[in-house]
Chain A
């Protein structure tokens, strides 16, 4: 079983819809949670960063962490064709022995159609 599970998609939505992405994980020691966006043939771009449980909002993006369920989500409101990309979740325990080591999901491909 992988430490981080993420549905690969593709997830296709019409422009203006809400995109809902999620990851589940097995390691209860994860405390730091990130979402990256990766356009085709480009490097990942950090979108959101959350520590522990709770919600965080940044413009059209909302990240949620539910540590009790080992489940994280990313919501994109008012989706645009420019949001079409692969979205990767990543997480870290933050402990000394795993410092700097991010456990990535495999990514969900999102397609926003005009």
Chain B
């Protein structure tokens, strides 16, 4: 089945210790997104890649970076995690239309 895969599902990191979350997709979609979702809140878009073009949301902290080495993979790097960065991180993909987005299962990040 075509799908969006995220690894790891659970990640624990220490305050200030860099962490990388990964996402892969078999849908062959052009667009990949990273969202942050905190408890009982709506997902918040951090950035997205349209093919190789990177689009950062204006309010995404500089602490968050992303890489997309090829169509299938996308990474979220958090350079110096703070306690406030503890959240579920969701990867999503879409075709060029952008409206129907397909989400992965998420990575739950804990910062100690």
Number of A-B residue pairs with CB-CB distance less than 8 Å in the complex they form: 57
> What is the interface size of chain B, counting residues whose CB is below 8 A from a CB of the partner?
26
Instruction: Kindly state the separation between the CA atoms of A36 and B41 in the bound complex, as whole angstroms.
Output: 14
A34-B100, A41-B106, A42-B105 as given contacts; A100 in contact with B48, CB under 8 Å: yes
Whether B102 is near chain A, meaning CB under 8 Å from some CB there, is yes
> What is the interface size of chain A, counting residues whose CB is below 8 A from a CB of the partner?
23
- How far in angstroms is the closest Cβ of chain A from B21? 13
Question: Which chain A positions have C-beta within 8 A of B101?
Answer: 34, 46, 100, 102
B94, A8: Cβ atoms under 8 Å?
no
Q: Which of B40, B45, B50, B106 contacts A43 (CB 8 A)?
A: B106
Question: Which chain B positions have C-beta within 8 A of A36?
Answer: 103
- How far in angstroms is the closest Cβ of chain B from A44? 5
The residues of A with any CB-CB pair to B shorter than 8 Å are: 4, 8, 32, 34, 36, 41-46, 49, 88, 92, 94, 99-102, 104-107
The residues of B with any CB-CB pair to A shorter than 8 Å are: 4, 6, 31, 33, 40-43, 45, 48, 50, 55, 88, 90, 92, 94, 98-106, 108
Other contacts beyond A46-B100, A100-B101, A104-B43: 15, CB < 8 A: A4-B42, A8-B40, A34-B100, A43-B4, A46-B101, A88-B43, A92-B98, A92-B99, A100-B31, A100-B33, A100-B55, A100-B98, A102-B45, A102-B101, A104-B42
